[in-house]
């Protein structure tokens, strides 16, 4: 018997693999499907203060090994999700709110609201790549850190931030140091890679409509960027902050790579959109086989344990 339990603050995972925010988690029925599946936690769609329709369609495209999206934060609004979370406690899985503001004030108000409801944790989305005419909060590191410090003063719940891909080690270092100082419990890394494009060569058109036809790139094509970013955060924070690894996961082997790199929990986006929530039990079955072959009894022992060559 393998013990799959891991923990980040109050997020106690019996199995540390869940959906990534945005996938299979916008409506109550989808959230309940994830809760009933083999997933070890339920992450909610990024919620805004008011409901939003999002960008015009087509806004999501799935290729063989990647996806491109420019959803534009379609969601039913914070009040809806605060109501739904009250009905989901009996599933006994971590329920994680994802909050998305358009200003520091929005983030604070969202945080104050969700703090009053029985979410087990809050993932602050500082990395949405799809808001027409707006930048990505987490690329302005001092501003992003000032938002995080304010939110830390607003809630005692397990608090983390979802980050975009960074291209420079210095950026990761500045973020890691600031987050350690702010005293939050986790980082979720990484969000989709901004400004992805695919072209249909028959019609010679772009594959999605909004934002000039370019959007967040996800799926197996970004796995190795995500793994690198997880590892760099782990090394720079010396394991003092929980890491949720996300980006390109398609299999139990990929989950195990994220564990070795330093993640305590793993999220699946593009491949979940493609295969549906039955995926979680398949990953659990395959991870059990893999860990048995390797003689690993306790997954937690392997977090961050990758060796240098």
- Interaction site with ligand DHB (CB under 6 A): 22, 46, 69-73, 125, 127-130, 191-192, 216
Q: Shortest distance, CB of residue 178 to ligand DHB, whole angstroms?
A: 20
**Contacting residues for 163 by C-beta, under 8 A, at least 6 apart:** 126, 127, 138, 175, 187, 188, 189, 190, 191, 229
Q: Which of 25, 82, 111, 128 is catalytic?
A: 128
Q: Does residue 128 carry a catalytic annotation?
A: yes
Tell me the residue number closest to ligand DHB, measured at CB. Answer: 71
Q: Shortest distance, CB of residue 251 to ligand DHB, whole angstroms?
A: 22
Comparison of 208 and 263: residue with beta carbon closer to ligand DHB: 208
Q: Shortest distance, CB of residue 290 to ligand DHB, whole angstroms?
A: 29
Q: Shortest distance, CB of residue 145 to ligand DHB, whole angstroms?
A: 18
Neighbours of 77 (CB within 10 A): 13
What is the residue whose two structure tokens read 């029985």? 118
Bridge partner residues of 3 (DSSP): 298
Report the distance separating Cα 299 and Cα 283, nearest Å. 14
CA distances to 118, 157, 170, 248, 251 from 257, in Å: 32, 28, 24, 11, 10
Comparison of 27 and 302: residue with beta carbon closer to ligand DHB: 27
Report the distance separating Cα 211 and Cα 192, nearest Å. 15
Comparison of 72 and 94: residue with beta carbon closer to ligand DHB: 72
Comparison of 4 and 61: residue with beta carbon closer to ligand DHB: 61
Give the pairing of strands 60-62 and 67-69. antiparallel
Which residues are designated catalytic?
128
């Amino acid at each position: 018997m393998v013990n799959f339990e891991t923990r980040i603050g109050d997020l106690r995972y019996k199995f540390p693999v869940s959906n990534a925010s945005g996938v299979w988690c916008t409506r109550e029925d989808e959230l309940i499907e994830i809760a009933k599946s083999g997933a070890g936690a339920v992450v909610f769609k990024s919620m805004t203060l008011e409901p939003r329709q999002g960008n015009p369609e087509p806004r999501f495209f799935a290729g063989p090994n990647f996806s491109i999206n420019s959803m534009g934060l379609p969601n039913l609004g914070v009040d809806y999700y605060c109501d739904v979370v009250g009905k989901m406690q009996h599933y006994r899985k971590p329920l994680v709110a994802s909050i998305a503001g358009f200003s520091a004030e929005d983030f604070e108000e969202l945080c104050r609201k969700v703090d009053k409801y029985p979410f087990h944790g809050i993932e602050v989305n500082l990395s949405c790549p799809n808001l027409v005419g707006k930048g990505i909060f987490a690329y302005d590191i001092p501003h992003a850190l000032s938002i995080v410090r304010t939110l830390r003063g607003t809630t005692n719940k397990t608090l983390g931030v979802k980050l975009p891909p960074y291209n420079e080690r210095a950026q990761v270092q500045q973020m890691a140091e600031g987050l350690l100082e702010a005293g939050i419990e986790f980082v979720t890394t990484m969000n989709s890679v901004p400004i992805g494009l695919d072209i249909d060569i028959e019609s010679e058109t772009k594959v999605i409509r909004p934002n000039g036809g370019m959007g967040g790139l996800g799926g197996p094509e970004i796995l190795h960027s995500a793994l690198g970013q997880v590892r760099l955060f782990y090394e720079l924070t010396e394991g003092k902050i929980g890491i949720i690894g996300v980006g390109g996961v398609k299999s139990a082997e990929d989950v195990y790579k994220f564990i070795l790199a330093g993640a305590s929990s793993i999220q699946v986006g593009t491949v979940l959109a493609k295969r549906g929530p039955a995926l979680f039990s398949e990953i659990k079955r395959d991870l059990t086989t893999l860990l048995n072959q390797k003689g690993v009894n306790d997954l937690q022992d392997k977090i961050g344990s990758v060796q240098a060559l």
